């Protein structure tokens, strides 16, 4: 079995993995920061009362603002379902690792075959192109699984759908791992380049 990891190729594949994981981190971080920015732009209850009735004195406004900010004891506060928990992070981490294994080993095979001069590999795609392509695919899968796990009151049978949110990542992770192992086990062609072109 020939070795696929040359020093230059391993360095390039490590950079590819780091770029991919960094893009996912930025995507997840932006999803968590966006609600905070929206809340920061909305006026506070005291500011809304000041703009609505300028003739009310400041003591009445501050008392009303405090009264508005406290929840009523009789009204139940709706609990948001926690979507991103330890299980979600673990399942999506396994899927991300499996996809990284697949496209990294496939890229190494293409690099190695291109360097060997095989006729069926005419060019090797750029690392940035692969990171954007596969990062976008993973982000779409992440969003799909997130939406499957999140409660939707308008969706009939949503309790069943919320219970099987893990089915897609659980089905795809072994497929990606199998393809990655197949790429690792790739061996050099049995014929030389000149012999292969003649066939």
Q: Quote the pLDDT of residue 187.
A: 79
Confidence (pLDDT) at 2: 40
Query: pLDDT 10s digit of each residue in the chain, 199 long?
Result: 344 454 454 545 566 666 666 666 655 555 555 554 445 555 555 555 455 555 555 555 455 455 555 555 565 556 677 888 899 999 999 999 999 999 999 999 999 888 888 888 888 888 898 899 999 999 999 999 999 898 888 888 888 888 899 999 999 999 999 999 999 998 776 766 667 666 6
Structure tokens given for 95: 């899927």
The stretches of the chain forming alpha helices (DSSP H) are 7-41, 45-52, 58-69, 86-116, 127-149, 158-163, 167-184, 193-198
| Euclidean distance between CA atoms 183 and 187, whole angstroms | 9
Q: Name, in order, each residue with C-beta under 8 angstroms of 100's C-beta and a sequence gap of 6 or more.
A: 17, 20, 21
Q: Return d(Cα 89, Cα 39) in angstroms, integer.
A: 26
Nearest to 141 by CA among 175, 108, 113: 175
- pLDDT at site 1: 37
């Amino acid at each position: 079995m020939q070795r696929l990891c040359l020093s230059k190729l391993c360095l390039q594949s490590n950079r590819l993995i780091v770029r991919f994981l960094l893009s996912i981190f930025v995507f997840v971080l932006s999803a968590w920061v966006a609600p905070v920015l929206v809340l920061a732009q909305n006026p506070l209850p005291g500011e809304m009362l000041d703009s609505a009735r300028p003739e009310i004195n400041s003591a009445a406004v501050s008392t009303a603002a405090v009264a508005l900010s406290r929840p009523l004891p009789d009204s139940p506060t709706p609990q948001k379902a926690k979507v991103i928990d330890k299980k979600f992070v673990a399942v999506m981490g396994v899927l991300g690792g499996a996809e990284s294994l697949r496209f990294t080993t496939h890229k190494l095979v293409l690099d190695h075959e291109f360097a060997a001069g095989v006729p069926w590999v005419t060019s090797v795609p750029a690392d940035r192109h692969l990171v954007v392509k596969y990062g976008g695919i993973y982000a779409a899968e992440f969003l799909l699984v997130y939406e499957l796990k999140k409660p939707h009151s308008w969706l009939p049978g949503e309790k069943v759908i919320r219970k099987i949110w893990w089915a897609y990542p659980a089905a795809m992770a072994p497929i990606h791992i199998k393809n990655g192992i197949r790429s690792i086990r790739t061996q050099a062609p049995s014929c030389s380049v000149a012999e292969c072109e003649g066939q």
